[in-house]
Chain A
Amino acid sequence: MNTFYATTLLVYAGVDIIACLSLNLVFGVSGIVNFSFIVFQAVGAYTAAVLSMPPQSTPGYDWEFYVGGFNLPFPIPWVGGAIAGGLLAIPVGFVVLRKLRSDYQAIALLVMSVIANTVITNADKFLNGAAGLALVPKPLSVQVDPNTDAYDYLYVGITVVCVAIVLVIAHRIVSSPYGRSLRAMRERELAAMSIGKNPVAMKMTVFIVGGVIAGLSGAVLVGFISTWAPSVWLYPETIILFAAIIVGGRGNNIGAILGAILVPVGFEEVTRLIPGTIGPPGLIPALQWVAIGLLIIGFLWFRPDGVVPESRRVFDGGPAREVQ
C-alpha cells in the first residue's frame, strides 16, 4: 500500500466522518430526513472552489466557465464553503421545516436534490455545467509542493484537525440541554411543544449547523481532489450516508463515526477490490448500489438501532421505574 493510497483513504474517511456527524445531528438527533444532504456538501465544495480559483480569464483557466474566481489563500475558501452550506440551509429550511409533515419534508428534500443537480448540469455558464470545475488549487500549495508525500501528510493533518473541531461541536450539541430538546422533539414533537419548546426554531438551528458542517466537508473534499462536477453529487450519494448513519447507530456521534468508517469507506473500498472485469461493464458499481439498499433494509429490519445504539439517558434522581 503506497502513501498516496493511504493518505487518500484517510482524507476520504475524514470527509465522510465530517459528513456523517453533520447528518447525524440533523437526521439522527433531530429526526429531519435531509435527503438533500449532498447538495449542502456540493455548495460548500463549489464555494470553496470558486473562492480559491483564479479569475476565469487567467491563462490555463480560460476554457472553463465559472462565476467568481477570487484567488483567496487557504483558510478563507474553507470558511466560505462552510458559511455557504449554512446560508443555503436558511431558505431550504424556511420552505421545508415550517409546516410540512416529516414524510413530506423528506420528499421535498429529495426532489430538491434531484432538481439542484439538473439545474447546475444545464446552467453551463454558471459552474461549468456537466463538465464541472477542474484545476481547483490545492490549499497551501504555494507554501508546500502538492506533489510530495509531505503535502499529503499535511493534508491528512488538516483533515484530522477539521474532524476534531466538528466532533467537539457535535458532541457539545448532542450533550447539551439543546441536544436534549432536539431528542425530545424527535421522539414526540407535541410533547416537546407542550413544555415550551419551539420545534420550528430548533429544527432551523440544527439544520443550519448541519449545513455549515456539510459545507465544510465539501470544502475539504474539493481541496483534495481538485475537481467538482454534478456527477459526484447525485442524490444516491446521500443514501450512502444515510446507510452509514443507520448502520452505525442513529443519534450518537460514535455510531456516526463508526458508520462512516464501515459504509462509505470500508464497504466501498472492499468492493473496489473485486475486479471490474466480471460480467458486463458497470455490473459491479450497480451491484454496489444494490448492496447499499440491502444494507439499509436489512439493518432497519434486523437491527434498527444500528451497531452502536443510542444510549438511553435516564435521570438518576428520578423515581425508579421501568422505562419502556
Chain B
Amino acid sequence: LDLYVEALGFGLVSMSVIAIAAVGFTMQFGITNMINLAYGEVMISSAYVAYYINRAGISIWIGMVAAAVSGAVFSFLLNRFVYAPFQRKGTNLIGMVIVSLAVSLMIANLLLPIVGYYAVSYQNVTGDLIHIGPMILTVNQIAIIAVAVLVMLVIHGLLTYTRLGKAMRATAANPTLARNCGIPTQRVIDAVWLITGALCGMAGTIAAINSDSFAIANGASFLITVLAAAVLGGAGQPYGAMIGAVLIGIITELSAATWSPQYKEVVAFGILVLVMVLRPQGLLAKRGALAAAG
C-alpha cells in the first residue's frame, strides 16, 4: 500500500505540473482556435532560460519567473509573426496544425546547437524531505503544488471576475459578436498569448524541476501529456484541463509505480485514445468553450 501512497504523492506533483501546462494550452486553443503543437518546445526553451539563470547561482524560483516572462514573449511573438498572419490569410485548421508542427521542429533544432544534446539538470533543487502522513515529498515538490494551486486560483479569478477574463470568454464564444460589442478582440488575443505563454514557461520550468534532468527531446513528451490532459477535459476548456490534469497525473504515476516508468506517456496515450473513441468532445464539452465553472 505504501507504494500506492507514494505514487499518489508523485501524482499530486505531476498533476500540478500538467495542470499549469494544460490550462495554458487549452486556453490558446479555446480562445484563438489554434492547436499550438510548438507548445512543448516553448516549454523546453523556457526551461533552458531558467537553467542558465540557475547556473549563474540564482534561485530556481527566480529562474522560473524569468522563464515565464520568456515563454510569454516567445508565444506572443510566435503568434504575432507566424500564426496570426496565417490565420488572417484564411489558412484552414489543417494548414495551421502543419504550420505549428513546422515551427515546433524549427524551435527544437535551432535550440540544439545552442544548448547541446546532453541532458542537464538544475542545481540545488532537491530540498529537505517532509513527511505528510505516509507521503514523503521534498520542499520543492510542495512548492510546485503550491504554485500550481495558486496559478489555478489566479486563472479562475481572471476568467470569472475580471473584465479581461470576461472579454476572453466572449472572444472564445464568438469572436465576431465580441468585436461588435466593442471588445478589442485583437488585444484580447495578444493578452491570451502573453498569459498562456507565461503559464507555458512556468510549466516548462517546474516540469524540469520535477524530472531529474531534461533535454531538447523532452519537448515531445511534454506535449503528449499536455495534449492528453487537454483533450480529456475537453479542448478549449480551462476547467476541463484542470480535471484532465488531475486524472492524467494520478493515473500515469500509479502506472509508473505498478508497471514501468518508461511507459508513462504510453499510458497517457492510451487515455487519449479511449477519450477519442468514447467521448471525443472531452469530459466537459457540453458547457461550451470557456464557460464559467459551476
Contacts and interface: CB of A to CB of B under 8 A. Distances in A.
A198 interface: no
Contact of B93 (A102, A118, A288, A289): A102
B265 A286 contact: no
B102 A239 contact: yes
Given A103-B35, A110-B37, A282 B265 contact: no
Contacts of B98: 33, 106, 242, 246, 296, 300
Interface residues of A, number: 45
A290 B109 contact: yes
A297 B97 contact: no
A100 interface: yes
B93 A103 contact: yes
Contacts of A115: 224, 265-266, 269
B91 interface: yes
A279 B113 contact: yes
A33 B94 contact: yes
Interface in A259-304: 279-280, 282-283, 286-290, 292-294, 296-297, 300-301, 304
B105 A99 contact: no
Contacts of A31: 94
A118 B106 CA distance: 22
Interface stretch (B52-60, B149-157, B273-281): B273-281
B293 interface: no
Contacts of A96: 276
A33 B269 CA distance: 18
A101 to B, nearest CB: 8
Contact of B94 (A102, A112, A292): A102
A162 interface: no
B109 A287 contact: yes
Contact of B99 (A118, A279, A288, A297): A297
A304 B220 CA distance: 27
B113 A283 contact: yes
B227 interface: yes
Main secondary structure of the interface of A (DSSP, over half): helix
25 contacts: A31-B94, A95-B276, A96-B276, A103-B97, A104-B235, A104-B280, A106-B98, A107-B227, A108-B276, A112-B269, A114-B221, A122-B262, A235-B220, A236-B105, A246-B98, A282-B112, A286-B113, A290-B110, A293-B102, A293-B103, A294-B102, A300-B86, A301-B85, A301-B89, A304-B91
A97 B86 CA distance: 26
Nearest to B278: A99
A64 B130 CA distance: 46
Contact of A300 (B37, B91, B260, B265): B91
The winner among A33, A95, A111 for most chain B CB atoms within 10 A is A111
Interface in B23-38: 35, 37
B266 A119 contact: yes
A122 B35 CA distance: 29
Interface of A: 31, 33, 35, 95-96, 99-104, 106-108, 110-112, 114-115, 118-119, 122, 235-236, 239, 242-243, 246, 279-280, 282-283, 286-290, 292-294, 296-297, 300-301, 304
A239 B109 CA distance: 14
Contacts of B110: 286, 290
Interface in B72-113: 82, 85-86, 89, 91, 93-99, 101-103, 105-106, 108-110, 112-113
A239 B272 contact: no
A239 B227 contact: no
Contacts of A282: 112-113, 117
A282 B116 CA distance: 9
Interface in B109-164: 109-110, 112-113, 117
B255 to A, nearest CB: 14
The winner among A112, A282, A290 for most chain B CB atoms within 10 A is A290
Contact of B276 (A100, A280, A300): A100
Contact of B106 (A119, A279, A289): A289
A106 B97 contact: yes
A287 B277 CA distance: 39
B194 interface: no
Given A33-B98, A115-B224, A115-B266, A108 B272 contact: yes
A71 to B, nearest CB: 32
B231 interface: yes
Contacts of A242: 98
Given A280-B113, A282-B113, A290-B110, A95 B277 contact: yes
